[in-house]
Amino acid sequence: MNKSIIVGGGCFWCTEAIYQRVEGVISVESGYAGGHKENPTYKEVCSESTGHAEVVKIEYDQQKVSLAEILKIFFETHNPTTLNKQGADEGTQYRSVIFYNTDEEKQIAEKAKENASKNWKNPIVTEITPFTNYYKAEDYHQNYFNDNPGNGYCNFVVRPKVEKFMKSRGE
């Protein structure tokens, strides 16, 4: 049976590129969640006026990959200890957040956060919050790293994260 979870770990191009390489993940879609404006644009989200975070919606086959593993990867592939910041990307839209749908997902997320805290010197600031809304990002944000390998941000920010992740998995 397929399930989905929405997470935000900084720029959605990075998070999308990581999860596209996880066995058992069926699809990854970049979008916006957790804000108060319907159908926000990228420009509006970046202005920090909508309350949304850049997120990815991950659809996965729970027979092949568990939510616990997906969240372990989440905490390993971004810095969950920096408030509203990932590298040079700064603003509330870059916050670290997990949107859960059920009490079971909330418990799994809290356990993943607790486990991850052992790997970080500073406290984890990741929000674990009930799902309220999600809006798909503009088409040009979808599959961004794969479609734009020569882009400067992709070369200097996304690619190193993807390569580090793949190396950690022995690939």
Domains of the chain: 2-162 (3.30.1060.10)
Could you list the active site residues?
A: 11
Helix (H, G, I), strand (E, B) or coil at 120: coil
Name the pTM for this structure: 0.96
The tally of CA atoms less than 13 A away on the side-chain side of residue 46 is: 7
Tokens 């309350």 sit at which residue? 51
Tokens 């969950």 sit at which residue? 80
* Residues in Cβ contact with 44 at an 8 Å cutoff, skipping those fewer than 6 apart: 37, 50
Please give the full DSSP string across 26-81, using - where no structure is assigned: EEEEEEEES-SSSS--HHHHHTT-S--EEEEEEEEETTTS-HHHHHHHHHHSS-TT
- Digit-by-digit pLDDT tens for the chain (171 residues) are 899 999 999 999 999 999 999 999 999 999 999 999 999 999 999 999 999 999 999 999 999 999 999 999 999 999 999 999 998 899 999 999 999 999 999 999 999 999 999 999 999 999 999 999 999 999 999 999 999 989 999 999 999 999 999 999 887
Q: For position 1, what pLDDT does the model report?
A: 84
Is 98 in contact with 74 (CB distance < 8 Å)? yes
Q: For position 171, what pLDDT does the model report?
A: 76
Of the candidates 37, 42, 45, the residue with the CA atom closest to the CA atom of residue 132 = 37
